[in-house]
């Protein structure tokens, strides 16, 4: 669990008429916000550490002051909206709702990290994962968030290594793996792509394009098959395919969000 210093640290991000609000919200969660509230002028996001708030600020609102508060009332509202999200073979559901009988249920208490299944990028990655035949025997999930993708892979029998640079995400993944009865198949740890990933049949990466481009050079050539998500539109998908050096085998989209299976030769 990431350590909490003195209270919560609030970052305000302004969103104008031409800005993509969905992307800004996604990026706040991706940078480790523990709560995000939409306001008429943009977003207010809470972080448990000043370092995390500053990291997000430097990318999303350079120069903006960070406010430290004791109370984050209102920033948990997103949890009340959680519902059952179907994604191909899978249905992601919070603990208080049951999955439909015709899907593999993934029970996710997202805690305060990304991956409740309510974001299109998660659903697209899960749908592509469910379509993998035969199911992969070993999977490396980069940026595991809530563990939703890692658990989906484990539910189909894969041995999964799940990594995230956010310690809170790693703890949430381990807890969610336990609640889904696949803890023996999911090893969650703090980190990113490294040589220990080399055994994986399939790599899963749901992050924004700038992070894809930073991660791609770290990937060893032994990784032949990836599912990438978190990209917006054909241009970003092409950029991701170029960065990873993979041919696009299959794509799925939801509005502007795109995901793909990439095959490297």
| Binding stretches for ligand SAM (CB under 6 A) | 30, 32, 113-115, 122, 125, 142-145, 148-149, 163-166, 169, 192, 206-207, 211, 215, 230
The token pair at 252 is 């799925």
The token pair at 133 is 């035949």
Give the sheet arrangement for strand 90-93, strand by strand.
Answer: 85-87, 90-93, 104-107
Residue 161 near residue 189, CB atoms below 8 Å? yes
Kindly state the smallest distance separating residue 50's Cβ from ligand SAM, in Å.
17
Q: Select 75 or 92, whichever has its Cβ closest to ligand SAM.
A: 92
Q: Select 41 or 178, whichever has its Cβ closest to ligand SAM.
A: 178
134 upstream amide cis, omega within 30 of 0: yes
Q: Select 218 or 222, whichever has its Cβ closest to ligand SAM.
A: 218
Q: Select 71 or 83, whichever has its Cβ closest to ligand SAM.
A: 83
Q: Select 42 or 145, whichever has its Cβ closest to ligand SAM.
A: 145
Q: Angle at the Cα of 224 (from 119 to 170), degrees rounded to 5?
A: 45
The token pair at 249 is 């085998």
Q: How far apart are CA 239 and CA 182, in angstroms?
A: 34
Kindly state the smallest distance separating residue 149's Cβ from ligand SAM, in Å.
5
Residue 180 near residue 107, CB atoms below 8 Å? yes
Kindly state the smallest distance separating residue 17's Cβ from ligand SAM, in Å.
25
Kindly state the smallest distance separating residue 40's Cβ from ligand SAM, in Å.
25
Q: Select 45 or 169, whichever has its Cβ closest to ligand SAM.
A: 169
Residue 165 near residue 189, CB atoms below 8 Å? no
Kindly state the smallest distance separating residue 249's Cβ from ligand SAM, in Å.
19
What is the residue whose two structure tokens read 């469910």? 130
Residue 171 near residue 1, CB atoms below 8 Å? yes
- How many other CB atoms sit within 10 Å of the CB of residue 167? 14
Kindly state the smallest distance separating residue 48's Cβ from ligand SAM, in Å.
13
């Amino acid at each position: 669990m990431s350590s909490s210093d003195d209270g919560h640290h609030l970052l305000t991000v302004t969103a104008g008429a031409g800005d993509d609000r969905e992307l800004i919200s996604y990026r706040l969660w991706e940078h480790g916000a523990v709560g995000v509230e939409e306001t008429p002028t943009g977003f207010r996001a809470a972080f448990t550490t000043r370092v995390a708030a500053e990291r997000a600020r430097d990318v999303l609102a350079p120069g903006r002051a960070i406010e430290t508060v004791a109370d984050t009332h209102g920033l948990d509202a997103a949890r009340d909206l959680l519902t059952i999200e179907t994604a191909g073979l899978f249905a992601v559901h919070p603990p208080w709702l049951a999955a439909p009988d015709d899907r593999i249920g993934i029970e996710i208490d997202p805690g305060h990290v990304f991956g409740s299944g309510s974001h299109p990028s998660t659903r697209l990655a899960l749908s592509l994962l469910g379509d993998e035949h035969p199911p992969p025997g070993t999977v490396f999930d980069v940026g595991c968030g809530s563990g939703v993708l890692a658990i989906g892979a484990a539910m189909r029998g894969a041995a999964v290594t799940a990594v995230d640079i956010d310690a809170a995400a790693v703890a949430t993944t381990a807890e969610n793996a336990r609640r889904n009865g696949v803890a023996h198949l999911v090893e969650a740890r703090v980190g990113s792509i490294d040589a220990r990933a080399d055994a994986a049949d399939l790599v899963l990466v749901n992050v924004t394009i700038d992070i894809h481009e930073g991660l791609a050079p770290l990937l060893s050539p032994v990784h032949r098959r990836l599912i990438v998500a978190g990209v917006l539109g054909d241009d970003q998908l092409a950029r991701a395919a170029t960065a990873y050096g993979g041919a696009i085998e299959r794509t799925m989209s939801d509005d502007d969000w795109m995901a793909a299976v990439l095959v490297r030769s």
